[in-house]
Structure 1
Amino acid sequence: MKPAIRLLLVDDHAMVREGLRSFLELAEDMTIVKEAETAAEAIASADEEQLDVIIMDLVMPGERNGIDAIRTIGQRHPDIRILALTSFQDESRILDALEAGAIGYLQKDISPDDLLAAVRHAAAGRTVLEARAMELLRKGQFGNRGTEVPHQERPEENAHTTSESAVAQLPPVDVLTQRESEILHKLALGYANKEIGAALGITEKTVKVHVSHILSKLGVYDRTQAVIVASKMGMVEL
């Protein structure tokens, strides 16, 4: 039996955390390790606990907000997947959360079943986006606001920025090998490394090496940005 997905719930409203806990705890493959009310507490919890997925509110009291927490945790613990769960739908917050390193952006009115599915997808390394966030990506607005993404070190990924100028300077499409292109298309479909390996008949370790090369060649620092930039270049379709 697979180990349970270890969760951290981050929201300054106790009622929200209680509501999330009430149905997440019913899932046999999930366990809530800890809860946090502020960004600072979330960062401290990520430092102290072994976590798989964090469900993160974006607006919280204190000097730091959810975006800061996502960015900091991503730098320190790149293997932790963070889902932004918020009631806000404005473009700026959606883009900020994704650029900070969130693997997903969801609305708080999401159904319990959909949230459970989102947590499982996130734990597997798949990007999870609600309709509004996906619409922004399809319009090509992500990474195109004239601001740079903060430097983030990740074990299988090279850190770069994706400002408008960076996108303009990307190498031609044929810079990717045939195998890298195959893997990029699987990433666009939301496949995790293990699933890509099974589909292509290669090991998960080999997939990680190829993903690292793809990120380096495209000048991005994570899988989500790789798919977005590749979409802009006409290499894949969202």
Structure 2
Amino acid sequence: MRILIADDHTIVRQGVKMLLTEAYPLAEITDVSDSASVIRNASATKWDVIICDISMPPGDSGLEAIKKIKEHAPKTPVLILSMHAPDQYALRAIKAGAMGYLNKGVATLELVTAVNRVMSGKKYLSEDVAYILADAVEQKHDHSIEHLSDREFEVFKLLASGKSVSDISKQLNLSTNTISTFRLRVFEKMGFRNNLELIKYAIDNKIVN
């Protein structure tokens, strides 16, 4: 059994590795710290499951990483393990090709169950995630964040947290012109007239604190 863990926080990787080693003592477990490494490993080696974070700067987000992993290894199950609440990223992760979405806050209780399920070829959907997916089917309305692409949503969150275009450019390793284009698309799709409206929307919808 081969497991690949991708997270930019060393303590998280160590904790996940300990949990999995206890559950699967004979497993070969490898951990990496960024999206480029997880994509490279996914294309070079066969894995039974890949456990991946959403935010792994710099470079591609976990969502982009999922898509690239699926290009190289379409049959490898990917389980997202994130600090972000499911209502922010779960639907996007599943659409990108993930087999499950798990919040780090409950990982100790649910991780092994989730790994077993996705390795059996089934999706792992917690009650919260299942509700979000069902709600997304029922509620289709204008100016929804679901209309944003994954990269647009990432830029939206960073803008809402108070980061400037140049800050975001450095974090995502993209040009300022590219970030400005994403910002413009966010404003057009969401109907924002200024940053204040963007930040207010993010706070009201609990996208940022």
Both structures adopt the same fold (TM-score exceeding 0.5): yes
Please point out which of 55, 70, 78 is paired with 2:74: 78
**Which runs of no fewer than 5 residues in structure 1 stay unpaired?**
150-238
- C-alpha displacement at 1:28, in angstroms? 3.3
Matching residue of 2:6? 10
Matching residue of 2:32? 36
Matching residue of 1:226? none
- 2:115 is equivalent to residue 116 of structure 1: no
- C-alpha displacement at 1:47, in angstroms? 1.3
The separation in 2 between residues aligned to 1:127 and 1:65, in whole angstroms, is 21
Please point out which of 97, 100, 121 is paired with 1:101: 97
- Give the match's secondary structure for 2:121: coil
The structure richer in helix per residue is 2
Matching residue of 1:25? 21
Moved more, 116-125 or 126-135: 126-135
Q: Indicate conservation of the 8 Å contact 1:52/1:79, yes or no.
A: no
The separation in 1 between residues aligned to 2:116 and 2:57, in whole angstroms, is 29
Q: Indicate conservation of the 8 Å contact 1:83/1:122, yes or no.
A: yes
- TM-score by length of structure 2 reads 0.63
Tell me how large the CA RMSD over aligned residues is: 2.4
Matching residue of 1:54? 50
Identity %: 29
- Give the match's secondary structure for 1:109: helix
Matches within 5 A, 1:1-238: 4=1, 6-28=2-24, 31-89=27-85, 91-141=87-137, 145-146=146-147
How many residues align? The count is 145
- Give the match's secondary structure for 1:129: coil
- 4+ residue runs of structure 1 moved beyond 3 angstroms? 140-149
Deviations 1:38-61 (A, max 9, x none): 111000011122201111100011
- Give the match's secondary structure for 1:121: helix
